[in-house]
Amino acid sequence: MATFMTSSKVRQEKYDVFVSFRGSDTRCGFLSHLRKQLQLKGINVYDDERSKRGDKISSALSEAIQKSRIALVIFSKDYAYSGWCLEELVIIMEYNRVNNQIVIPVFYDIDPSHVRHKKGSHEDAFVQHHNNYKVDLRK
């Protein structure tokens, strides 16, 4: 496990890579192949397959994000429909801002401009969240 100095604290890393993904889009195909290949290379991968679903991100999941060297965000067609995924992304980006965690976006079966400019399914997802008030859009 690597050790880093961050803002006068020593941070113990527990995982090499934290993977944020929308399960219905990627779990049985892309993610399972990616996970297998990373593990074959000796890369310690955390994905939230282990976590129970709830309304809010658990402190254990937040800690897993913070204790990972790299956050791999797999943007897919339905990623933005998941309030859970968006909450993970907020934590990942905040940790990137504060502690320079490496964030690698992967665009799976979606045009990157749809994510960047909230178009297509991502636009539809944010409209749905706005109408349902499930996600704090300020984040």
Residues serving a catalytic function are 88
Question: Contact, 17 vs 38, CB < 8 A?
Answer: yes
Question: Contact, 70 vs 18, CB < 8 A?
Answer: yes
Across 7-133, where does the E strand assignment appear? 9-12, 15-20, 45-47, 68-75, 102-107
- d(Cα 60, Cα 123) in Å, to the nearest integer? 30
- d(Cα 51, Cα 70) in Å, to the nearest integer? 19
Dig out the tokens for 121 from the structure: 């399914």
